Structure 1
Amino acid sequence: MAGLRYAALTDTGKREQNEDAYFAGRMNGHHLFAVADGLGGHACGEVASRMAIEILAEAAGRELPESDPGDLLERAFQRINAAIFAYNMDNALNAGTTLSAALVAESGRCWIGTVGDSRTYIVTPASVWHTRDQTYVQDLVESGAISPAGAMLHPRKNILTQALGLSARVQVDLDLAELADGVLLVSSDGLHDHVPESVIREIVLEDDPGTACRRLIDAARDAASTDNTTVIVARA
């Protein structure tokens, strides 16, 4: 995976400012890909997302390769949560952010951490896997109350059950996956809340990372997404 090709692109959409932040790069024998989506309607969402990316990148740069990547992600997410929570207490704010981050080793093994509804995907010709959304609607899907297709149309689909910075502790979902011959995609919900999985799959499998990023942003616009949209695409 030392020759991993990747690209990233962000789009403000129809919002006044872009509250997404991202990182895509190589450090200490791993690639780090991460997307944070500052919570719309919360004060200083752009500050929270930027803090998340900066603290995560600093932790990876300092602790790799000595630390287990999964343990590193758990510690970094908790550190991010504590930092944003303290910022909120000091400034009487309620800034918050989602974050999905993947550490990819040269072997293709991926350690993935997620809070909120930004996602990491691994897409192959045979399957599409992605991280679990920490949302009210995802809980409804898992209980059988609604279908996955119905979740995209649900009026409360943007209600999070977890976010960084809004409480003293946060539950981090950790996943372990293999990239192998697949394509890795990290995205904010401006993409996957509006663009069907079948379209996402087709784009990332057909195109080089730079072209795929542009097409994904265009697909979000065509699907009437007004949100900030950020995508990172990586493949061998």
Structure 2
Amino acid sequence: MKAVFKTDCGKVRTHNEDSGGIFEQSERLLAVIADGMGGHRAGDVASQLAIKHIKEKWEQIDERKLDAAEAAEWLNEAIVSANQELYHYASEHEECRGMGTTIVCALCLDKHLIVSHVGDSRCYFMTSNGELSQITEDHSLVNELVKSGQLSEADAEYHPRKHVLLRALGTEPEINIDTVKLTWEKDCKILLCSDGLSNKLSDDDLQNILSEQASLEEQAEALIQYANNAGGEDNITLVIVEQTDGEAL
């Protein structure tokens, strides 16, 4: 597997409330993106705490090979414990009351992907044939309005409450996590990103850039440049992972 992580403050904001990382072991890789929220820079605290907690759990993981079910169980337990840590931290620090963060994690094994998320940070999957699809569903007010037929997808793009989340890590003592299990083979890719990217690029834009004959580093830079050229009002954070092992089907 090959992977790249990039984060950018954007063109408007003065600080970055996004966090993320790529954590590798012998035959597996964990990619994580967190987009923090909260006043007095507490969004920074929330996203950084979430990434730090999950990294620590990753470093303690049993080195034996995990199957897809075991990997999903481990990943969701790590997110649940991160939620509890953030919630308790906020309750003990007045300046952090109400802070929270999105989280999207992809645990990449040789033949399987496990993706778990809370909030509106996304994961996209690209097949070896170059077809791109969004495999996470935003936990947002606007998305629920679209699903219920009260709002069109076109109107949702410009809705004044577009950023209102229905789920976030750290805001409640219990959390519901969505998990997707996929198989993948050589030349497949995943893209994890905060909404600073997904709000600025269409699925076609993402697919075109990820299909370019360029390195992952160059593709990541192109995605960030595109989002900044489109306004860059938000922090922009992404991970691209490509499966380089096995045979393409």
Q: TM-score, normalization: structure 1?
A: 0.92
- Measured on the aligned residues, the alpha-carbon RMSD in Å equals 1.6
| Correspondence 1:39-118 to 2 at 5 A | 39=37, 41=39, 43-66=41-64, 68-92=70-94, 93-107=97-111, 109-118=112-121
Match of 2:197 in 1: 191
- The verdict on how the C-alpha distance between 1:16 and 1:6 changes in structure 2, with shifts beyond 3 A counting, is same
Distance in 2 (CA, whole Å) between partners of 1:23 and 1:223 is 25
Deviations along 1:176-202, one digit per CA (max 9) or x if unpaired, are: 112323211010010001211110111
Distance in 2 (CA, whole Å) between partners of 1:158 and 1:173 is 19
Match of 2:32 in 1: 34
- The verdict on how the C-alpha distance between 1:64 and 1:194 changes in structure 2, with shifts beyond 3 A counting, is farther
Retained in 1: the 8 A contact 2:32–2:103? yes
Retained in 2: the 8 A contact 1:59–1:72? no
SS in 2 for 1:120: strand
Retained in 1: the 8 A contact 2:32–2:104? yes
Distance in 1 (CA, whole Å) between partners of 2:224 and 2:62 is 32
Structure 1 residue 43: Cα displacement: 4.8
Calculate percent identity across the aligned residue pairs. Answer: 31
Gaps of 5+ in 1: none
Deviations along 1:128-160, one digit per CA (max 9) or x if unpaired, are: 233111100111121122233332222211000
Q: Report whether the alignment pairs 1:126 with 2:161.
A: no
Amino acid at match of 2:224: I
Structure 1 residue 127: Cα displacement: 3.7
Deviations along 1:27-63, one digit per CA (max 9) or x if unpaired, are: 2521111100111546511111011111111212212
Match of residue 153, structure 1, among 155, 158, 162? 158
SS in 2 for 1:215: helix
Distance in 1 (CA, whole Å) between partners of 2:134 and 2:233 is 25
Distance in 1 (CA, whole Å) between partners of 2:191 and 2:40 is 26
Distance in 2 (CA, whole Å) between partners of 1:150 and 1:42 is 31
Distance in 2 (CA, whole Å) between partners of 1:208 and 1:146 is 39
State which structure, 1 or 2, has the greater radius of gyration over its C-alpha atoms.
2
- The verdict on how the C-alpha distance between 1:138 and 1:65 changes in structure 2, with shifts beyond 3 A counting, is farther
- The verdict on how the C-alpha distance between 1:96 and 1:156 changes in structure 2, with shifts beyond 3 A counting, is same
- The verdict on how the C-alpha distance between 1:82 and 1:132 changes in structure 2, with shifts beyond 3 A counting, is same
- The verdict on how the C-alpha distance between 1:32 and 1:150 changes in structure 2, with shifts beyond 3 A counting, is same
Deviations along 1:85-111, one digit per CA (max 9) or x if unpaired, are: 10111112222111100000022x101
Amino acid at match of 1:72: W
Aligned residues: 232
Retained in 2: the 8 A contact 1:183–1:205? no
- The verdict on how the C-alpha distance between 1:190 and 1:43 changes in structure 2, with shifts beyond 3 A counting, is same
Match of residue 8, structure 2, among 7, 11, 34? 11
Retained in 1: the 8 A contact 2:33–2:121? yes
